[in-house]
Each structure stands twice: as structure tokens, then as C-alpha cells.
A and B are shown apart, each in its own frame.
Chain A
Amino acid sequence: MRAEKAVQGAVGVKAVHTTTQRPQPAAEGRTRATLQLEDGTTFEGDSFGAERSVAGEVVFNTSMVGYPQTITDPSYCNQILVCAYPLIGNYGVTKPEQGLCRHFESDRIHIEGLIVTDYSTYYSHWSAQRSLSEWLISQGVPALTGIDTRALTKRLREKGTMLGVIRFGRDRIALCDPNQENLVARVSIDQPQLYAPPGRPKGRVVLVDCGVKHNIIHSLLARGVEVLRTPWDHDLQREKFDGLVISNGPGSPKMVQQTIEHIRRVLARGVPTFGICMGHQLLALAIGANTYKLKYGHRSQNQPVIDQDTNRCFVTSQNHGYAVDNATLPRHWRPWFTNLNDETSEGLRHDSAPFRSVQFHPEAAPGPVDTAFLFDEFVSMLGS
């Protein structure tokens, strides 16, 4: 509805002035900056975020909606996000939220930088209170527009995910590989936190926060369970609970050995367990299966998966760079969901025990809500 503050010296136009608008800043009014990939390719764009040079892993996402949810997803920690869809910023951003967020997946922007083709300086939506640009600037996140993100996407597809830097002026900034770090430790919480559902709880679920998206918490609470959100390395042996949920999170799953060990112990207790995204990979590692890095990952809202047991298909929201190797599943475990496009693992389950996991995001946000029923199934297993 309202136009944002002009980012950089806007050029005045007589035609469209009113009290509620500002002129469109001319492209030449913006600061130029470059995105440089590890293979040496550079792309030049106009800044609409914070003017700060950063380094990260460059990944692309093909979603057409949902930038506020996407960029607050902790799984994007240390990644420079490329939006394949060209028009970004159209509906602005809602007001800031604290604590458990509704419109965001965490209380801050997690991406290291944002790359788009055509940022919408002007936004329009009843719920919007600021522009994407204002928000990015306030959180110190750089963003470039005017970049051919299709060309960039194709390059990442062909060469695989690459490291890269967004560079302003002559800043010196080195490449850095986030997958060599334990990123989960950076985005998880410090202290356990308990969330109560409306009404009398049907049971207690421990949610291991590897960088949890808030809608996972909402999805559980909405089904009447109490949620104990724990740090990634929290010792679960001392906790009493009816079910375990292992969340999504950034980076390589093999960097979080402590969590894998904790999961292994919980499985031995026979507690119903549900892994989501990185949680799926951690469960796989806990049972002795292997994971590997995908060439360029799945980051979109249109990933088709098939339930191997029922042949039912679902469209899912995904954001991951690693995958479970189905060939390494131990006895009594089987693939549950499989990706229809590339036949990679999308879920696994135990033959008899209530242990399951999915690579995609049943909590959606952003993306299709087709698989929300998995939370119902999980909650129904508690106490059984």
C-alpha cells in the first residue's frame, strides 16, 4: 500500500506524486555490487538491501510466493539465495514479530544475501507494513536486483551449488564454505522452551531444534500437544515425553553427531519419532544409513513425491542440499516417500515401530499444505 522509503537517491518524477507514494528510484540511483561465484563468474546488480559484502553458499529456489517465510527459514543460514522467479517484493512484509512467529519462520532473516531479477520497489498488500528492502536493510542483509537469475540458476544446476560472495566496491572478502561448520549450533536455541497448546495437552512432544521453522511448532500445537523445544545438543535421556520430532536445519547433517547420538538413544526407547528435512537425514544417520550432498539440492514448492505404500502423490515444499541414500537403509527400514522427478529419498519408515521421517516440509510455509496430515498421523501415534 505505502511506498517504501527511497533506497538510494531517488530521481523525482512529477507524474506520480501523492502523499502516499514516492517516485520509483531509477536504476542508476542505486549502488552497484557484484555477485561472484567460486568458478569466477560474476553478475552485476543494483543493491536494494544492506550495503555489506558477504560470503556464503549460493543456492537457487524456484518458488513464486513466500519470500518472507523463505528468507527467515534457518535452514538457509549462510546461504546466498537466488530467486528464479523474477518479481520479488510485490506484497511487502508484515510487521515484525517476536517469539513464536506467525508470518515468518523465525524471528530474523537467515539468508546471507538475496539475488533477484526485478525487485518491486513499490508493494501493495493490506497486511504489509514495510518493504522487503527496508527489512533487509534493518537486518543488515545485502540484496541485489537486476541479475539474470535464470542464467544463474542454470549455472548452479549445471555446475552444482557453488560458494560465492556479494561484493560492494573493492571490499576484500574470501569464500567460505558453511558446510564445514556446525551451522545447527548457530541457529538452535540456547535453553529448552515449553509451548502449551490451547486446551488440555494430548501429550508432550520433544522438538529438537536444529533450526526449526516456527510453523512446525504451530502445526504440533494446533493438534493439541505440548511442545518442548530443545537445543540441538540437549540430553534427551532425562526428559519424559510421548513423541520426538527432529526439525529441519542448515548445513551438513554429519556436522551434528551429538544429535544423531541422542536420536539413537530415543529410538531404543521406542518413542514415536518424526523427522523433518534435516531431521530425516539425522534419523537416517542414527540408524546407520548414509547421506550425501545433492548436486544442487531441492529448493522449491513444487517437488512431487509419491507414497510408496499407497501410490498417492503429493506436491511438497522443500529446502535441502543433502539427501538420504536409500541403498544404505538397514533391515526393517524402508523408503516411504520418493521424489517423482529424480527418485531421491523423500521419507523413510520402520516396518513395525512408530519411527518415520520426511525430507519435505509438511508444515509448508511457504508452500503447499498437502502433507499437513502427516502431523495428524504422528500425533495419533503418541501414547499408542
Chain B
Amino acid sequence: MIVHAKKVLILGSSALKIGEAGEFDYSGSQAIKALKEEGVETILINPNIATIQTSEHLADHIYFLPITPRFVGKVIAKEQPDGILLGFGGQTALNCGLALEKLGVLHRHGVKVLGTPIRAIRDTEDRDLFVKRLNEIGLPVPRSQVATTVEEALRVAQEVGYPVMVRIAFALGGLNSGMCRNEDQLRLLAGRALSHTSQILIEEYLQGWKEIEYEVVRDSADNCITVCNMENVDPLGIHTGESIVVAPSQTLTNGEYHMLREISIRVIRHLGIIGESNIQFALDPESEDYRIIEVNARLSRSSALASKATGYPLAFVAAKLALGYPLHQLPNSITKVTKAFFEPALDYVVVKMPRWDLKKFRRVARQIGSSMKSVGEVMGIGRTFEEALQKAVRMLDIGADGLIGNHGLERGELQRELAEPTEHRIFAVAEALRAGMSVDRIHELSHIDRWFLYKIAHVVELGERLGDLGPEPLPAPLLREAKQRGFCDLQIARLTGRDAEAVSRRRRQLGITPFVRQIDTLAGEYPAQTNYLYLSYNGIEDDADLPIDNAVILLGSGAYRIGCSVEFDWCCVNTGRTLRQLGYRTVMINCNPETVSTDYDEVDQLFFEEINLETVREIHDRVRPVGIIVSVGGQIANDLALKLHNTGIKVLGTSPQSIDKAEDRSKFSSLLDELGVGQPQWKELQTLTDAQAFAQKVGYPVLIRPSYVLSGAAMAVASNDTELSRYLKRAARVTPQHPTVISKFLEDAKEIEFDAVAKEGKIVVYAISEHIENAGVHSGDATLVFPPQRMYLETIRRIRQISKRIANALNIHGPFNIQFIAKDNDVKVIECNLRASRSFPFVSKVINQNFIEIATKIIMGHPIEVIDKRSFELSHVGVKAPVFSFARLEGADPTLGVEMSSTGEVACLGNDFNEAFLKALLSVGYRLPIRTMLLSSGPIAAKADLLDALRLFKKVGIRFYATEGTAAFLKDSGIEAETLHWPLDNRKPSAEDAIRSGQIDLVLNIPKNDQEDELTNDYIIRRAAVDYNVPLITDRQIAMRLAEALSRVGLEDLQIKSWGEYEQEHDL
């Protein structure tokens, strides 16, 4: 019974956010590939322009539009698809699908939901229904009850008994779920959760239970398998997205493993799921008692991880199953010798670790728990647990070289860190063992299974044996043992008081090098033609045929983090595709399981490995490539350029010396001086006194930043001496090996991005995009417009000229990006990166010139087609807007500053700026119409600046609420506003109450000072907006542009046009 769908709509997951990240680009891309293979015409809606799935080679029709019932409904009406896939775009797609079904849109247009039927989706999403369905087959869920009001929640909690767990329905990443020990905590959490959703679940709290997951696949003929099981190292209570996860499970017996496996299959059959799903269990660590926690009837973060952990292409198979194929008729596309109906056997262990970026947020709660806060993840593969774990630790790129032997890692008090974990817990475990705390005691505090603790103890013990060594040459047996347990050369060097290069040399002299192992899904049982590789010191032979002729190694982006995510994956995938077209064999090195670049069919050989000097060198020695490309994977790869070059490795593209010249602030500054190009005054920091003297000279405010950073880690703006000294202390701790720099901070200036590709120092293509916000908002958090709408021609001309000079001076040969600041046609260079930038996919897609493809051809010395400059004259506008995940980051102050804090972005096209801008805002969660607005704060000047915007808002019929000062100011200016009290005044009606009660559609709060750390009225208002899901504007320029857009364009004016249609109009 194959479904004869001719045209299928796929919903993406929109911007990357905490709880919903790159994994859905991966699953959506696989789904599109699977459908295309069947000759199905595909339509994709996803405003996330940096994704691979929205590339021209994948879906037939791509809409950069919000994933909301309104827009999706309009696309359906226009395209008339006969099927829709809801399971490949995370919770966003699933929720939208449920809404469309409820509204009757799918029925009205005869669109069939392919794969898991709506009923089954609803049964898994609605907790009450879910529990009922499981009760039908007598399977236990945690004791619980649904509550729709805070009072009801309190009553249920009495019955269930404290502590209780609060869960919310229709959530992603466990938003606002949490454990409550008493009534007060419950009242607070329930209140907040119920503002996002209509019902919450209060359930028994199963402290210390193991958390186990299975990935289950079922076809329409009822054949059902579990592809992978996974065990969380962290016990229940820590969200699986926040947990260290191993696959396969390590502490389960055959009885437990297969009991849970059988139950998984029974549940999935009973629910009637067709395709892929994930089921989570709580397992008592002292018996075989268990509870079923939840089922996700869709591809998930766990399924992406399971795909990468096993090599089984879950999303690809799920898409085929949605078309009605039975599992046994599908080939296993990895092995090509077996069928999709089988369960992978692993002969290695994988360890997934989450990557957090909590340092970037002011006031954020550092504890990890049942709500997700991590922004990315990595996966280490090894043939011992220790090897996989230590690899994963390094892959995080947080400055740790392994579990032990690190310098300057932060950590709190040990007992507390173990019992109330933060992102540093795993290091605390190692440290506690080193300090003599017993495994039993650590288990008591952390509830981490002793098996994992014993393994960590082994690492600690080995570290001590290394530390006991004298100055004699490193003994081969111990060195080998350390390598087999995942120690890197640098770590061994630290522990033994040696130089890293000396350790490497000794190791290589002794012939201790890693072996190349294959992931074949069958543990070697059949000869499989797989190209999925990793390195291990636990072995005696290679599995792969190396070296590879005519190969190019590509370095990926590593863990997604703030400032580096799917956009670099897009660059990597496009580089790989172009290289293949040019006839090269591609070898990818990356370690992030949520990427498309690590998909088995994107490259010729995939090394799922660390991206650092030691590992890249080992791989390079085996592959013996033509060269290595470092300029498309973001900053980690870029930082390796000079180091690789110095070991004799051929770096392709712009020379490593030039890269260094652009990265090193002094060298770059001298270059700008030579070229006569303006730059903000700056100085390398020696002492505080020097810094203050400099600041006095150039005048506050000043910007403080360390060199060699992406996304402005530890950057800050200081407006006086006190602030300066405070920030300096903070900055100095982050990267002690690099100097910190302070520079003059220009206010009320414009920031401009220049993305380009050059060939032998001459610019071949370029795109200039403009920030809507004024300088001071990190470029990653800024709203970008391309082509620029509000820039002087003279500014553009100067930017072009300066860029030309820089490209020439650095002899740039590949992609690059320059950031400019401009004020009254005075143009200065802020920074220059000789690599692809975050905005490459955005400009490439808006202009329909693939910058990466061009760059790759140039890097490889292949001819490029002459680019028709007329294509730069666009008849449409693209607007890229950031998405923040403040709602998940409890306590974080949702303001914009020089530190980047957005987790993702969208971009939309329109025939003019206003249309594209409104679409982009709607894609990031703004809702129209806006009827009421809360205005608060800002110095008088800022208030005055806002007046024009406010008059426009008034004109479109928005009613104002305002805090006292602002209300008074408005009144003086002839604008009516209802006065609300400041939250800290404790008087009714307060601004906070108004937000909480849903009276406010939009909050406009311009911070007085974006660096403040104190609990202020402004902070409470901003935080309330985030916590109660009310759109928040903190930037004056954005307010102004929104007011203009609303006064000129209505919701009905937003056109439903595909990317292809915009391109066509452009070509006419």
C-alpha cells in the first residue's frame, strides 16, 4: 500500500532555538531526499534561511515564511499538495499541524497527513490522553494528574505527595517543566507554565531513577523495530537534552534492556505510530520497576543522535515509511547489503555531551535540570567509555582538554556541584574523585550510576600515574594506556609537566597512533561499504582504505553554540558538494550529531572526530589529501589555520599568514594604518591604570574585548572607570593566553556587514547588508537587511573601496567578511574574518549567487563563470532576524548588547523592506494584530527619540500602557497612556500584573544601561515579557521600523511567494 502522493508539503522547525536546533535541518533534509528519490514534488516551508534543507538542490518549492497556521494554510491553498509531513520539523511543525487539522484546513484542501496519523500525535502530545492510552494496555506512567489552574495543581500535588514534577503539554525541550518541593515553588512554576499553555501535569518525582530512551520505527504493515537505546548518565530530573547520554545503554541487564524494548514496541503499536518515534523510560536503579515518561511521535534530537550513533538513517527511512513502504522492502542505505528492517549492533560506545553557553547571559540560573538550556551538543565515539567521554569533553571546545588536567576551568563547591549540578558537574565528579571522595558518596549526591563513576575514577587514577612520572622518557605502555583511555597529547603533557609537541613526537616515535574504524551498523558481521569513520587507539588495524587519491579535507563547525551554528554547516555542505562536482573526494571532520555535514551521503568519507590540531593531523597523515579547507567551518577551524600550516599541512585558500594577520589585532591594526583605513581607536591592555588613562583620553564609553573570539565572548561596554575595572576582571579570566583590547565605542553609529569572495586579492562577489539596530548590538543579534535600504551611496562606495584594498593587501583567496561602522559617511573597520561568515547563506540565497560554491571553485583553482553584476540589482528585499531563547534561560536578562545571545535566526523575503521585515518578525514569534503595548523606561533622550514611532503606533490603533515616568512624558507630548506601577513599588495595577494577565500584546522597554546586573524594575518587566510569552522590543530602531511597517503594510499584504518566484521576478 504505497501512498501515491505526487506533491508533499514539509514543515521545517523555523529558527534554531534551545530545544529545537540543527537536528531538524538534518531530519528535514533527509526527508526531502527520500521523497525526491520517489519522484515526489516537494514544498518546504521554513524561514530558517541558513539551513541546508532550504537549499536549491533539495525541495522543489521553498517558502521562507512563518510556520504558523495562517501562513501554512495560505501555502496549502496556493500549492494544493496532496500530502503533508509533520514529523520532521520538531515541535514547531507538529503543533502547527495539529492546529491546521483542528481548523479544518487539511480536510478542506484534501491534504493527507502522511506517516503517524493526527490521532496518534494528539495521544502523545496531550498528557491526559497519553496516560489514558497507556492505561488501556496496563502500562505504568508516573502517578500524576492534569491541572488547568494553579489551585488545582496544588490539590493534585497534595494527593501525589511532594516533591512533585510539573510538566507542560505541547512543550519543547521541557520548557518550564520543573521539580517543586513545596507549595510556594509549585504556585510560582504552575502560574508561569499556565500562561504558556492551558494544562499542566503534576506527577510523582522519581529521584535518582535511570532515564532510558529507545528509538522505535514502525511501518504501516505493523513491522516494528527499536533502532537504538540510550542511557542518560545523569539521572531522571535532568532533561535528556541536558544530560550526558551514552549509546547503547551500559548499566542495563539483558532482562531490563529487552523488557523496555518490548514495552517500547507495544506502546508504539498501540498508539498506531507510523514512522519514527522516541520513548523515554524511568527505570528504578534498585529493581525492574519502571515508568513510561513520554513518547515523541516525530523525529527528535534523540533520533538525530541515534542516527549518528548507529549509522541508521532514521529520518530517511521514516519518510519512506510515511509513503507506505514496509521496512523490509527498504535497503539499509548505509550497508547496501542488508534491509532497513534490522536493529543495528554497535561495536563501540558513543557519548553525547551538551554544550552550554550560560556565561553569555547576565543573571541566568546556572543549575541544569528538567528544563533545557544547552545550545548544542557533541558526540564522542570510542572503543572504551573513557575514550569516548574524553573525546566528547574536548569536542565541546570550552577550554577543557579532557576530564582532568585542565587549567582554569570554573567550578563551584564540590558537594553542591554534585548535588545541584551546573554545566560543570562532570568535572566536579573527576575533581571529587581526585580529592578522595568515594564513589559511593558521589553516587549518593549525584545519583549517577556507579559504573560511570568507576570509569571516571579510572581516568583520574591514570592521570595520577602520569603525574607520578619523573623526567624519564614517557614509558610506552603507560602512554598507550593513556591514549586508549582518551587522553590527548596536550593533557598528557600537562599532567607530566612536559611540552605537548614533545609528547606528540615521543608518541609518534613509539608508533602509538590511532586506528581508523568504521561504523557499519552490524558490528562487522557483514562486509559493509560505509564511509562513516572514527579514530580509536583501541585496536590493531584500520578498517578503511587509506590514503585517498585527490582528497580534500574539510573542517566542520563542531558543537553549535551561540555565534556558530547551522549557517556554518550550510557552508560546509555546500563546499563538499562543490568539491565533489569538481571531481575531488571529500573528507569531512566534524563532531556534531545535529548536522547535515555529518550525514552519510554528503561526503565521501566522514570522520566523526575532534576538530583540533592533534586529531586533524592524525587524519591528515592517513588521508594524505591535496589540502585542507579551514575557511567554511567557523572560528574553530579558522583558528587552526596557522597551527596546521606550521606542521607542514597544506591549508587551501587564503594563506594562514594572512588569516593570522586579520585575526591578530595589532597586526591587523597596523595593516589598516598602512592602508589608511579608519578604525576605532584601541589599545592592548597592560594594566588597569593604563586602561583608564586610555579611556579618559578617547572618552567613554569604551569596548573591551579579547582577541581571537567569535560571538564576542566576554566583550563589554564600559561607560566609566568603575565599570571598566569590573569588566576587565571578567575578561581577563576568559582567555588568559590572549591579550585583551579596549577600544573607543562609537554611539549612534550604523553597523554594516560586507560578505565577499576574492580571488588572488581581487573581489569576485560581494554583498553589503545593513544592521537595523545601531552599533553596539552584536552582529549576530542584529536584524540585517539586504540589500541595504537606509545607507548613503557614499558610505557604500567607501565600503567597497576599503574592502578592495584589504582584499588586495591580504591577498585574500576565498571567502571573507568585514564589519564596518559608519557615522555620517565616516567609515571604520571593526573586524575582518578571512573565512565564511554567519551571513553567507543569507546573502547567497537572497541574491541567488552561492558564495560558497564560488569560493570553493576559487580555492581549488577552478575557473568560475563570469558573474553578471546586474544580478546585484535585486527587485526584492531580504530581512534576517534573530531568535532568542530567553524563555528557557531562567533569570537571564533579555537585553541586547555586545555579547551575542541569540540562538538562531530567520530570514524572509518581500517586495519591499516592510513586507520582509514583518514576515521576519512574525517568524520569530511576534503576533499581529498588536492592540496594546506597554511602554516603559529609557532616558529622556531615548523617550524623545521614540515619539515618532509612538505616534505611528497610535495611528494604527494601538492602545498604550506605560510606567509612571513614561506615562507622564507621553502625556506632555499629547499621547494618552494608561499608567501602570513599577513592579518593585508593590502597588496595583502593576506593569508585571498586566503582562501576566495577558493584557499586553507587545512590550517596549528600552534599557537605561545594557550592562546592569542589579534587580531593577526594567529587568522585572523584560523578564515578565519573556516568561509570559509577550513579544519584547528593547531597541529603538526596531521600534521605529516596526511602527513604519505597521502603518504601511497589513497582514493581508504579506505575499505568499516562494523563493523561486522572487528569483523569477528578479530575472525578468
Contacts and interface: CB of A to CB of B under 8 A. Distances in A.
Given A149-B347, A315-B343, A341-B526, A125 B460 contact: no
B339 A13 contact: no
Contacts of B384: 86-87, 117-118
Given A15-B433, A312-B223, A364 B258 contact: yes
B452 to A, nearest CB: 8
B748 interface: no
A300 B254 contact: no
Interface in A325-352: 340-341
Nearest to B452: A124
Nearest to A102: B255
B523 A150 contact: yes
Nearest to B337: A341
Contact of B254 (A66, A121, A122, A150): A66
Contacts of B435: 15
A366 interface: yes
A154 B541 CA distance: 11
A273 B449 CA distance: 46
Interface in A228-276: none
A150 B254 CA distance: 22
A84 B460 contact: no
A374 to B, nearest CB: 15
| Secondary structure class of chain A's binding surface, majority of residues | loop
Interface stretch (B77-85, B245-253, B782-790, B967-975): B245-253
A302 interface: yes
B368 interface: no
B513 to A, nearest CB: 14
Contact of B347 (A20, A21, A85, A341): A85
Contact of B461 (A24, A341, A368): A24
Given A150-B517, A364-B258, A157 B345 contact: no
A125 B257 CA distance: 13
A103 B438 CA distance: 31
Interface stretch (A57-65, A168-176, A191-199): A57-65
Interface string B280-292: 0000011100000
A28 interface: yes
B454 A122 contact: yes
Given A148-B539, A306-B328, A91 B253 contact: yes
Interface string A61-87: 011111011000000000000001111
Contacts of A306: 328, 341
B525 A153 contact: yes
A27 interface: yes
Contacts of B248: 64-65
B346 to A, nearest CB: 6
A54 interface: no
Contacts of B187: none
A41 to B, nearest CB: 10
Contacts of A43: 540
Contacts of A91: 251-253, 451
Contacts of A118: 383-385, 538
B457 interface: yes
Contacts of A28: 477
A124 B450 contact: yes
**Most chain A beta-carbon contacts within 10 A, residue among B253, B383, B436:** B253
A18 interface: yes
A304 interface: yes
A120 B451 CA distance: 9
A121 B449 CA distance: 15
A85 B345 contact: yes
A302 B538 contact: no
A127 B433 CA distance: 25
Interface residues of A, number: 68
A14 B437 CA distance: 10
A65 B255 CA distance: 9
A137 interface: no
Nearest to A128: B253
Contact of B261 (A24, A148, A368): A368
A321 interface: no
B32 interface: no
A368 B262 contact: yes
Interface centre among A20, A117, A313 (most CB of B within 10 A): A313
A149 B541 CA distance: 11
Nearest to A2: B450
Contact of A18 (B255, B349, B440): B440
A49 interface: no
B525 A157 contact: yes
Contacts of A304: 328, 338-339, 341-343
B481 A15 contact: no
B294 interface: no
B524 interface: yes
B1056 interface: no
Interface string A35-63: 00000000100000000000000001011
Contact of A126 (B285, B347, B455, B543): B285
B458 interface: yes
A16 B456 CA distance: 10
Nearest to B261: A368
A97 to B, nearest CB: 14
Given A126-B287, A148-B540, A151-B541, A87 B385 contact: yes
A358 interface: no
A376 B104 CA distance: 45
B225 interface: yes
Contacts of B349: 86-87
B258 A366 contact: yes
A218 to B, nearest CB: 12
Contacts of A378: none
A67 B192 CA distance: 49
A221 to B, nearest CB: 18
B525 A15 contact: no
A369 interface: yes
Given A90-B451, A302-B342, A16 B461 contact: yes
Interface string A95-128: 0000000010000000000000110111111110
Interface string B419-444: 00000000000000111101111000
Contacts of B539: 148, 150-151
A123 B341 contact: no
Contacts of A149: 347
Contact of A127 (B253, B327, B337, B341): B253
B522 interface: yes
Interface in B464-483: 464-465, 477, 481
A18 B261 CA distance: 36
Contacts of A312: 221-223
13 contacts: A14-B436, A17-B436, A21-B439, A64-B257, A64-B346, A87-B349, A120-B454, A151-B539, A300-B523, A306-B328, A313-B327, A315-B341, A341-B338
Closest 6 CB pairs of A and B: A66-B254, A18-B438, A122-B454, A62-B523, A124-B451, A62-B345
Given A20-B440, A62-B345, A84-B347, 15 more contacts: A14-B464, A18-B441, A64-B248, A64-B345, A86-B383, A90-B251, A118-B383, A126-B285, A126-B286, A126-B287, A127-B253, A158-B527, A300-B523, A302-B343, A313-B341
